[in-house]
Amino acid sequence: MKRFLATVAALAVAAALAAPAVAQEVVIKFSHVVAPNTPKGKGADRFKELAEKYTAGKVKVEVYPNSQLYKDKEELEALQLGAVQMLAPSLAKFGPLGAKEFEIFDLPFIFPSKEALVKVTNGAIGKALFKKLEDKGIIGLAYWDNGFKIMSANKPLKSPDDFLGLKMRIQSSKVLEAQMKALGALPQVMAFSEVYQGLQTGVVDGTENPPSNMYTQKMHEVQKYATLSDHGYLGYAVIVNKKFWDGLPADIRGNLEKAMAEATTYANDIAQKENDDALAAMKASGKTEFYTLTAAEKAAWMKAMKPVHDEMAGRVGKDLLAEIYRETGVAK
């Protein structure tokens, strides 16, 4: 890690020294860890298109998908050091920075519907969460959606008992760790770029993902079973280095905000269709058997996982949790 940070710092310094004092093209390196043909990937590409159009070429956006520049654990340090200017990490990623409140999005069955989720992200709660990033040198620009997750493994997952002893890949999130433990599974933190190989070699037995991520990373090729559980949400925060953003001329920043607003509408509008199409494609491949929980089975999953809310309330914030319950109508 020390070598990584030193390399990133050197790159950031070199970039700063190379910048002349006169007005020049602004370069935004936009790094993310998923495939280009996902809701996030397509949203990033749309932002590039619109940003370059609205600034009349004064801004050049370089999009680096699929962890080409940095893996999950590296990208936030790279942003803070200025080696990249823009990211779209999943909301779980902010816990290690000290913004543990963002892990509230990882709580199982916290959002009963997409509409309930949007009330949170587009309202006062979403704005207040972004404010918590500013003293860490980060500005939150938008929330991007990727829908609800499904569980997959090489055995059927119909009841909580089916998870007992399974090594389940998760993002680095204490909430997701508690979720898997509540099911009797063994949570394994693993970089997104390494999941396919981990599943293929048996380092992990299963994982959770929205269908679009599962399909574009070809995880269905190495997972025999998947359950359409919709147990948890996966969303992203588009963030930018604060010093970089504040240093932009007002007119350029305004045009970039316009581009981001339109790219956000686009990314969020296509998220459901992208996931529906990915699920249909995986079903058509015949490589994975998909299962829909009965009402009784889903109730059993909820009973097993809802205690995670109380367990993690102290970490994500009891008042924030109560506020989300009120906003979404979820019964405690």
Return d(Cα 77, Cα 4) in angstroms, integer.
10
Is the CA virtual torsion 160, 161, 162, 167 positive or negative? positive
Do 201 and 220 touch, CB atoms closer than 8 A?
no
Q: Identify which of 294, 302, 331, 314 has the alpha carbon closest to the alpha carbon of residue 182.
A: 302
Domains and CATH numbers, the chain: 2-99+111-145+235-273 (3.40.190.170), 150-232+277-325 (3.40.190.170)
State residue 14's pLDDT score.
46
HSE of 244, CA atoms in CB hemisphere, 13 A? 25
Do 87 and 295 touch, CB atoms closer than 8 A?
no
C-alpha distances (whole Å) from 307 to each of 43, 50, 58, 182 are 35, 44, 51, 8
C-alpha distances (whole Å) from 238 to each of 29, 88, 215, 287 are 13, 4, 23, 33
Query: Is 235 in a helix, a strand, or coil?
Result: strand
Strand partners, 62: 29
Residues 6+ apart with CB under 8 A from 331: 325
**Tokens for 146?**
């990727």
**Tokens for 28?**
């935004």
Label the pairing between strands 167-170 and 233-241.
Answer: unpaired
State residue 72's pLDDT score.
81
List strands edge to edge, sheet with 86-87. 59-64, 26-31, 86-87, 233-241, 138-148
**Tokens for 133?**
């990033």
| Residues of the chain falling short of pLDDT 70 | 1-23, 331-332
Do 60 and 25 touch, CB atoms closer than 8 A?
yes
**Tokens for 125?**
């709660």
Q: pTM of whole model > 0.95?
A: no
State residue 254's pLDDT score.
98
Nearest 5°: the CA angle 245, 250, 252 is 75
